């Protein structure tokens, strides 16, 4: 029964109207929004959360010991179910190319090489879980090796899906 409910919930999220989505040349196969948009996400486990990409910034230098630039996003994740909702900087990826249904598209997880204190973006959002009413808030940085300044496509993927990566939500931002 719970598997059927989870499948219905995922279907409902995947087929939700995209009226608030930022139009792109490549339509996303999952719900999308712009900076400031909260997207209701249901994981494979049926755990749910509201995820808001609060803002995104390009920092031109000083992000790493080599002095390179980076894109930094600020996220708020609010648990909406009794089941724990999982998140990880490895599954919140960024790309400079539009969404495609291609698991081998150039994406990058949060960078461990970025010095969050140096760029004054703390606390970093690493990994964890939130349940009903709990909130996780923090920053994820992407070094400039694959994610350049300009249009950035952020994807939140399900870390426990059987067919990973399985994007559940996305945001298009401009830095």
> What share of the chain has pLDDT > 90, as a percent?
50
The candidate with the shortest Cα–Cα distance to 116, out of 147, 76, 72, is 72
Q: Kindly state the DSSP code that residue 84 receives in the 8-state scheme.
A: P
Burial bucket for residue 63 (CB in 10 Å: 0-12, 13-18, 19+): buried
Burial-class residue 66 by CB neighbours within 10 Å (0-12, 13-18, 19+): exposed
Domains and CATH numbers, the chain: 2-174 (2.60.40.1240)
What 3-state class would DSSP assign to 128?
strand
Spatial contact of 41 and 80, defined as CB atoms under 8 Å apart = no
How many CA atoms lie within 13 Å of 49's alpha carbon, on the beta-carbon side? Answer: 30
CA distance 60 to 104: 27
pLDDT band at 162 (very low <50, low <70, confident <90, very high): confident
Q: What is the pLDDT of residues 102-153, one digit of tens each?
A: 666 788 899 988 999 999 999 999 999 999 999 999 999 998 877 888 899 9
> Residue 33 — very low, low, confident or very high, per pLDDT cuts 50/70/90?
confident
Q: Is the pLDDT of residue 83 over 90?
A: yes
Average pLDDT, the chain: 82
């Amino acid at each position: 029964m719970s598997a059927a409910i989870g499948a219905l919930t995922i279907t409902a999220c995947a087929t939700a109207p995209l009226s608030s989505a930022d139009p792109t040349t490549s339509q996303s196969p999952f719900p999308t929004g712009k900076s400031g948009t909260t997207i209701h996400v249901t994981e494979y486990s049926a755990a749910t959360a509201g995820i808001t990409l609060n803002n995104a910034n390009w920092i031109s230098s000083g992000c790493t010991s080599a002095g390179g630039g980076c894109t930094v996003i600020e996220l708020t994740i609010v648990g909406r179910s009794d089941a724990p909702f999982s998140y990880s900087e490895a599954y919140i990826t960024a790309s400079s190319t539009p969404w495609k249904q291609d698991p081998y598209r150039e994406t990058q997880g949060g960078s461990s090489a970025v010095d969050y204190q140096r760029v004054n973006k703390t606390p970093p959002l690493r990994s964890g879980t939130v349940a009903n009413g709990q909130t996780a808030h923090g920053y994820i940085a992407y070094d400039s090796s694959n994610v350049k300044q300009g249009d950035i496509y952020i994807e939140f993927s399900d870390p426990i899906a059987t067919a990973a990566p399985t994007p559940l939500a996305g945001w298009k931002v401009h830095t």
